[in-house]
Copies of this chain bind each other. A is one copy, B any other.
Amino acid sequence: MDFVAILAGVAGTRFWPKSRARRPKQFLSFGGGGPLLVETFERTKLVAPPARTLVVTAAEHAESAARLLPQLPRGHVIGEPAGRDTAAAIGLAALLVSHPRGLPGARSDASLLVCPADHVIGPPERFAAAARAADELLARHPERIVVFGIRPSGPATGYGYVEQGAPPGAGEGLEAFEVARFHEKPTLEKAREYVASGRFLWNAGIFAFRASSMLAEIAGQMPELARALDEAAGSLGTSRFDGELARVWAALPKKSIDHGVMEGARRRAVIVPDYEWDDVGSFAALARARKADAAGNVALGGCVALESRGNIVDAGDGLVALIGVDDLVVVHTDDVTLVCRKERSEDVKRLLDEVKRRGGLDRHL
């Protein structure tokens, strides 16, 4: 690929108290090779060099991101003045790799791989192979927008699904298909049907396309975003750009790339990579990503347990001690401990609402 854009804009509360408003998930380590953003960057370096890589993140996190990625040239971390969901972030990336006053090497038909900063993918070589397959597919079908679809390991209800159509052919020994349809997160019943059919893939949020194709789809389907990008482009490469971007971004509605572009795009394809993938959507993912001990406990950091089974522990730099407890998520940070029944981890959001309601505890959010 000519360029890689890493989307590091996710806020999310599912990892509180490990993640905070000022320290979102992509800046955290989940037991691999450092923070997820750094792991992602190390992986995308196999696809494009740092000089052809950009990171789109929230303005307030731009400095942290730049510090974590010293190999990235100055100006390659783009701080969005406000989170406007993935369509806007991807549109902005497409603008920057295609506009003459964008990144060095930008050209209108530059190919771009877009991927989230907060997924666990391995091994990296297979990720690179999938990107090469996307490249080959784009060489034959330059107008398509390619999405990566993961062959489901079960009827997950937390992901959108891509329904596959006829195979347009891909390289690297990987399967590729036309996209019959995009489907939103399903009910469990629906998810079971999808998986049983063998024709549904998880939408993993990774896209490959030529910038011109994406901007054409945006122009056709999201005129408001297209106009905003046009207006921002007017000051691209000048000191007025940040202010202009803030102005036009403020008025934009939030829309995901799936809703805004992919569902209605005319020319699409889905590639099925063969790497291991985890979106690390909750602490329960630790139980997949890390080996459990003999008692079925999975721990990041120091953990000592007596007569305790099936717990998921993140001790950070500290120590978590368990006595006689089962099936808990225990997350220790300097100032906060969360103790949550494993199947209740979705309720962290509700808990944070309660923390806000109570008042006086904002420093822990």
Residues of A within 8 A of B (CB): 17, 302, 304, 306-307, 315, 317-325, 328, 330, 332, 334-341, 343-345, 347-348, 350-351, 354-355, 358, 361, 364
Asked if A361 contacts B330 (CB within 8 A), the reply is: no
Residue among B321, B341, B355 making CB contact with A324, cutoff 8 Å: B341
Asked if B320 contacts A361 (CB within 8 A), the reply is: no
Asked if B304 contacts A324 (CB within 8 A), the reply is: no
Q: Which residues of B contact A341 (CB under 8 A)?
A: 323-325
Q: Which residues of B contact A340 (CB under 8 A)?
A: 321-325
Please give 11 more A-B residue pairs, beta carbons under 8 A apart, in addition to A17-B319, A320-B339, A325-B328: A304-B351, A319-B361, A319-B364, A321-B351, A323-B339, A323-B344, A324-B340, A324-B347, A328-B339, A332-B332, A334-B334
Asked if A351 contacts B323 (CB within 8 A), the reply is: yes
Asked if B302 contacts A364 (CB within 8 A), the reply is: yes
With contacts A325-B328, A354-B306, A361-B302 taken as known, whether A318 is within 8 angstroms of B336 at the C-beta atoms is yes
For this chain, the copies found in one complex come to 2
Minimum CB–CB distance from A193 to chain B (whole Å) comes to 30
Q: Which residues of B contact A315 (CB under 8 A)?
A: 337
Asked if A332 contacts B325 (CB within 8 A), the reply is: no
Minimum CB–CB distance from A362 to chain B (whole Å) comes to 11
Closest to A340 in B: B323
- Complex alpha-carbon distance, A157 and B315, angstroms: 35
With contacts A330-B339, A337-B337, A361-B302 taken as known, whether A355 is within 8 angstroms of B321 at the C-beta atoms is yes
Closest to A342 in B: B324
